Amino acid sequence: MALSALAPRPSTPYPCSMSLLPDTARATASEHEMLPVGSVVLALVSGGADSVSLLRLLADGQLGDDLRLSVLHVNHMLRGDAANADEAFVGALCAELDIPCRIVRFDVAAYAEAEGLNLEDAGRRVRYRFAEDELDARCESLGVSPLRGRIAVAHTLNDQLETFLMRLVTGSGPAGLRAIAPVRGRIVRPLLGARRTQVVEYLESLGQSWREDATNADTSRLRSWVRHELKPLVESVNPAFDTTLERTIRLLSDEDGLLSEMAEAFSYDFTEPVDDGIAFNRDYMATLSRPMARRTVRESLFRTFPEATRLEFEHVEALVDGLAEDSFARDLPFGLHARTEYGKLVVSHRDAESIRLAPCLLEVPGTCDLGQLGVIEARFVRLEDVNDDPQRAFVDGALVGEALTVDRPRQGDRFRPLGMDGSKKLSDLFIDGKVPKRLRVTTPVIRYRDRIVWVAGLRLSDEFKVTTQTTGVLELHWRGEQTST
């Protein structure tokens, strides 16, 4: 059975007046000031009905004026031919609509295994990291401030309700039960007030096809179970469940927003930055109620350590308890460590091994910011500029596309190092190069599609080397130092 299928165009399209989606989306975008005039908009398009409808609304100018639109499609490489067909569909649709489209392939399963994440969480992190990079590059190419950029995502009211139920089942505090925010930073969700039925009616009114992912019917996955099993059961008791839950989420969101504003103020007044972390003033924190202390701790940690957005309730509770202890020490997820010292509770990274190298899109030419690990730069140079600097690699530019990806080593990575006849395990290369274990996870690996181009600072792939036939030399330069040995 195919994992994805194309939903066909209806032979007799419905008249456009039957669709409520444009009005609903416009109202949501206007209420939250999502798309100011002249915004640079990057739409994340998977090929499913929701994202295709968002693309058509943006392309038809129904959500804003003078929007400079482009598309990003990330192939997670999880569903074989079906994922490749989704990729081809999005590319063809963008070509039909004359909209610039960037296709990125990334092995999400390997990334999830390396980072200890579930596939959904890993995919979300990959998509948004690539989207931020692509939007920055797009803004730069247009000479526009990145602050005018927007990442448009196609979450609907159905997604909102399903997310609420998922978090209710797995456990969540008030902030989690707010479910999906209409606006978060540069991310906007114009369809968040629309139901999936409106999406389908709109696409049918246009005669527009979309892709169907058969894995959405797999009830072994939590969201699918909520959608196909739990929600229908609840609706059998309360047919108006969608309406009442929507109202409940709005109330929770409003009240939680007020408390979050208070916690944000405390998080600045009661803390101070320290090397590689943050310090809480224990005397000041003792003046807060426990619920507000808990919120202040969470707000402070998420601001200081963006990678720690999935800290669990028990970890935050332990830190709140630790504020009252003179000799508190505890390891936390994401390579963090907390300890009390001199009237403060300090949270910082344990060591270099805890630094997370998030996947990054490297434009050719362009740069990729790796945070504490420096910057990877790609630029074209002359053949006579080729040298043996270990922090640089020189690649045949004709063998790579317009963009590379940068991430960390993955389990089972192999490639053919420069000068070798056969392939070699990346783990063996680290051993031969006497790279300490604590530094291996912070070594950037530059890839073209699923093939290693350069293990930064260590070895170039023989497949991408410069030869006498090379017409364009691409220099990859890692500017930044790892933790010293």
Say what the pLDDT of residue 277 is.
86
**Section 398-426 average pLDDT:** 92
Say what the pLDDT of residue 15 is.
39
Asked if 83 and 156 sit in the same domain, the reply is: yes
Say what the pLDDT of residue 4 is.
44
Q: Looking at the predicted structure, is the pLDDT value of residue 10 above 50?
A: no
Q: Provide the percentage of residues in the chain whose pLDDT is more than 90.
A: 60
In a domain, 254, yes or no: no
In a domain, 255, yes or no: no
Query: Residue 450 is part of a domain; what is its CATH number?
Result: 3.50.40.10
Residues 173-201: tens digit of each pLDDT? 776 677 788 998 899 999 999 999 999 99
- Average pLDDT, rounded, for the chain: 88
Asked if 28 and 68 sit in the same domain, the reply is: yes
Say what the pLDDT of residue 434 is.
79
Asked if 79 and 228 sit in the same domain, the reply is: yes
Asked if 67 and 152 sit in the same domain, the reply is: yes
Asked if 314 and 447 sit in the same domain, the reply is: no
Query: Residue 322 is part of a domain; what is its CATH number?
Result: 3.30.465.60
Which of 350, 371, 400 finishes a domain? 350
Asked if 108 and 236 sit in the same domain, the reply is: yes
Which of 350, 375, 396 finishes a domain? 350
Say what the pLDDT of residue 328 is.
93
The listed range with the strongest mean pLDDT (13-22, 94-103, 224-233) is: 94-103
Residues 260-308: tens digit of each pLDDT? 899 999 999 999 988 678 999 999 999 999 999 999 999 999 888 876 7
Asked if 178 and 313 sit in the same domain, the reply is: no
Say what the pLDDT of residue 482 is.
45
Query: Residue 118 is part of a domain; what is its CATH number?
Result: 3.40.50.620
In a domain, 362, yes or no: yes
Q: Looking at the predicted structure, is the pLDDT value of residue 481 above 60?
A: no
Residues 28-46: tens digit of each pLDDT? 999 999 999 999 999 999 9
Asked if 400 and 430 sit in the same domain, the reply is: yes
Which of 350, 374, 396 finishes a domain? 350
Residues 143-162: tens digit of each pLDDT? 999 999 999 999 999 999 98
**Section 316-321 average pLDDT:** 94
Asked if 310 and 362 sit in the same domain, the reply is: no
In a domain, 55, yes or no: yes
The listed range with the strongest mean pLDDT (4-13, 115-124, 149-158) is: 149-158
Say what the pLDDT of residue 485 is.
35
Asked if 329 and 464 sit in the same domain, the reply is: no
Residues 416-472: tens digit of each pLDDT? 999 998 999 999 999 888 776 657 888 999 999 889 999 999 999 999 999 999 999
Say what the pLDDT of residue 221 is.
80
**Would you say the pTM of this structure is higher than 0.85?**
no
Q: Looking at the predicted structure, is the pLDDT value of residue 17 above 60?
A: no
Asked if 365 and 345 sit in the same domain, the reply is: no
Domain holding 320, by residue range, is: 270-350
For the chain, how many structural domains are there in total?
Answer: 3
Q: Looking at the predicted structure, is the pLDDT value of residue 91 above 90?
A: yes
In a domain, 259, yes or no: no
In a domain, 177, yes or no: yes
Backbone angles phi, psi at 97, to 5 degrees: -90, 0
In a domain, 137, yes or no: yes
Say what the pLDDT of residue 222 is.
84
In a domain, 5, yes or no: no
Asked if 198 and 168 sit in the same domain, the reply is: yes
Say what the pLDDT of residue 163 is.
87
